[in-house]
């Protein structure tokens, strides 16, 4: 019987479990044997394999994190490491591998496909930083976590007439800050893709203060180019505006939690599609969602695409927060 391996790699994201469930159930439905590989490429090299059955993915669709665990593995970045991986997969009769992760994990999958292993990548990261897909698994849940936090911060911010800087994840991608900022009604959104001077933020604070609004929420993406980061911004605002400024760094809370309905459905569709592609004999592909349709494309093509920043949404956010 042909076997499919599945692993999660890089940073974890809510919805990864729903994707694992979809891959395992679809593969078993079509008569494949499935091995769960724990701790990403590290576990592959350490032979941390578990044979999966229908019930091993029971009761996980609603759980955050990844039951297969995740890690980063430098050994897999070497040619020797990957050759060893191929040998191990062959020993287990695993011809195909589904990799759930981000761009780094996809690069690993692509290199593995060049050594003869059929690979399919599923986008799992809260950063939404993959250009070829409108959404990655985990982004929607993380966005809702941020919105929830902003709502709570807004309550206390307004009671005390404070300025609150809310730092959110996303690495070099501002999507999480932008979308959550819009949905949370932030007064200012600072993203890596667009430059903004602290003077502009101060003048905006003054304008809103003049019309009686004393509190303000600034959503700051962790990768934004602000001197000194959140602390630097706080200091600048305190000096220039004499504002009472507090910082909330949301941190890893954004990576956890039960996945949203959107993420569960997306993960289910992408997991199912990944196995269908393998059955069709496809390899070195990634799956995603574009204009509400499930798509697949070559990993090289996907990784060479440049992420587009949603300028329209950014401009709209400015208008809505005057």
**Active-site annotation, residues:** 127
Q: What's 308's DSSP letter?
A: P
* Least distance to ligand ATP, CB of residue 110, Å: 8
User: What tokens appear for 115 in the block?
Assistant: 């050594």
Residue 107 binds to ligand ATP (criterion: CB under 6 A) = yes
Residue 76 binds to ligand ATP (criterion: CB under 6 A) = yes
Closest to 179 in 3D by CA, of 316, 319, 21? 316
The reply to whether 52 sits in an annotated binding site is no
Residue 133 binds to ligand ATP (criterion: CB under 6 A) = no
In which region does residue 256 sit, left (phi positive, over 0), alpha (psi from -120 to 50) or beta (all else)? beta
The reply to whether 11 sits in an annotated binding site is yes
* Least distance to ligand ATP, CB of residue 79, Å: 9
The reply to whether 24 sits in an annotated binding site is yes
Residue 105 binds to ligand ATP (criterion: CB under 6 A) = yes
Find the angle CA(168)-CA(255)-CA(163) to the nearest 5 degrees: 25
Q: Which of 14, 15, 43, 108 binds ligand ATP (CB under 6 A)?
A: 108
Q: Which is nearer to ligand ATP, 9 or 66 (CB)?
A: 9
Q: Which of 4, 16, 20, 73 binds ligand ATP (CB under 6 A)?
A: 73
Contact segment (CB under 6 A) with ligand ATP among 4-12, 16-24, 53-61, 114-122 equals 4-12
Residue 125 binds to ligand ATP (criterion: CB under 6 A) = yes
CB atoms under 10 Å from CB of 13, counted, come to 34
The β-bridge partners of 123 are: 101
Closest to 307 in 3D by CA, of 110, 128, 183, 176? 128
The reply to whether 104 sits in an annotated binding site is yes
Query: What are the Cα distances from residue 49, in Å, to 52, 100, 126, 151?
Result: 9, 16, 26, 43
Query: How do beta strands 285-290 and 118-123 pair?
Result: parallel
Residue 10 binds to ligand ATP (criterion: CB under 6 A) = yes
Q: Which of 14, 64, 65, 102 binds ligand ATP (CB under 6 A)?
A: 102
Residue 101 binds to ligand ATP (criterion: CB under 6 A) = yes
Q: Which of 2, 33, 69, 77 binds ligand ATP (CB under 6 A)?
A: 77
Q: Which is nearer to ligand ATP, 4 or 7 (CB)?
A: 7
CA–CA distance, 205 with 163 (Å, rounded to integer): 9
Contact segment (CB under 6 A) with ligand ATP among 8-16, 86-94, 115-123, 200-208 equals 8-16
The reply to whether 127 sits in an annotated binding site is yes
CA–CA distance, 77 with 74 (Å, rounded to integer): 5
Q: What's 124's DSSP letter?
A: B
Q: Which of 3, 4, 7, 11 binds ligand ATP (CB under 6 A)?
A: 11
Report yes or no: 230 and 220 within 8 Å, Cβ to Cβ: yes
CA–CA distance, 118 with 314 (Å, rounded to integer): 40
Residue nearest to ligand ATP (CB): 104
* Least distance to ligand ATP, CB of residue 303, Å: 10
Q: What's 309's DSSP letter?
A: P
27-63 in b/e form (b: 16+ CB < 10 A) is bbeeebbbbbbbbbbbbbbeebbeebeeeebeebbeb
As annotated, the binding site for ATP includes 11, 72-73, 102-105
As annotated, the binding site for ADP includes 21-25, 154, 185-187, 211, 213-215
As annotated, the binding site includes 11, 21-25, 72-73, 102-105, 125-127, 154, 162, 169-171, 185-187, 211, 213-215, 222, 246, 252-255
User: Can you give the binding site for ligand ATP, defined by CB under 6 A?
Assistant: 9-11, 41, 72-73, 76-77, 101-105, 107-108, 111, 125, 127
């Amino acid at each position: 019987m042909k076997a499919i391996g599945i692993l999660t790699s890089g940073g974890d994201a809510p919805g990864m479990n729903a994707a694992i469930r979809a891959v395992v159930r679809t593969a078993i439905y079509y008569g494949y044997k499935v091995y769960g590989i724990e701790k990403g490429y590290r576990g592959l090299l350490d032979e941390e394999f578990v044979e999966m059955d229908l019930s091993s993915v029971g009761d996980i669709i609603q759980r955050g994190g990844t039951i297969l665990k995740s890690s980063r593995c430098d050994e897999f970045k070497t040619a020797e490491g990957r050759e060893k991986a191929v040998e191990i997969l062959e020993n287990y009769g695993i011809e195909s591998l589904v990799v759930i992760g981000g761009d780094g994990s996809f690069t690993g999958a692509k290199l593995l496909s060049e050594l003869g292993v059929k690979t399919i990548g599923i986008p799992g990261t809260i950063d939404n930083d993959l250009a070829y897909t409108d959404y990655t698994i985990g982004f929607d849940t993380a966005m809702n976590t941020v919105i929830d936090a902003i709502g709570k911060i807004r309550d206390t911010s307004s009671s005390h007439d404070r300025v609150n800087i809310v730092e959110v994840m996303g690495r070099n991608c501002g999507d999480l800050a932008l979308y959550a900022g819009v949905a949370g009604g932030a007064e200012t959104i600072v993203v890596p893709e667009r430059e903004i001077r602290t003077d502009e933020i101060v003048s905006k604070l003054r304008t809103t203060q003049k019309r009686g609004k004393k509190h303000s929420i600034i959503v700051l993406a962790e990768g934004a180019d602000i001197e000194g980061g959140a602390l630097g911004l706080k200091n600048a605002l305190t000096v220039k505006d004499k504002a009472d400024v507090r910082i909330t760094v949301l941190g890893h809370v954004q990576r956890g939690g039960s996945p949203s309905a959107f993420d569960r459905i997306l993960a289910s569709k992408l997991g199912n599609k990944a196995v269908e592609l393998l059955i069709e004999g496809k390899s070195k592909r990634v799956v995603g969602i574009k204009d509400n349709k499930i798509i697949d494309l070559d990993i090289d093509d996907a990784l060479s695409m440049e992420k587009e920043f949603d300028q329209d949404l950014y401009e709209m956010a400015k208008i809505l927060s005057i």
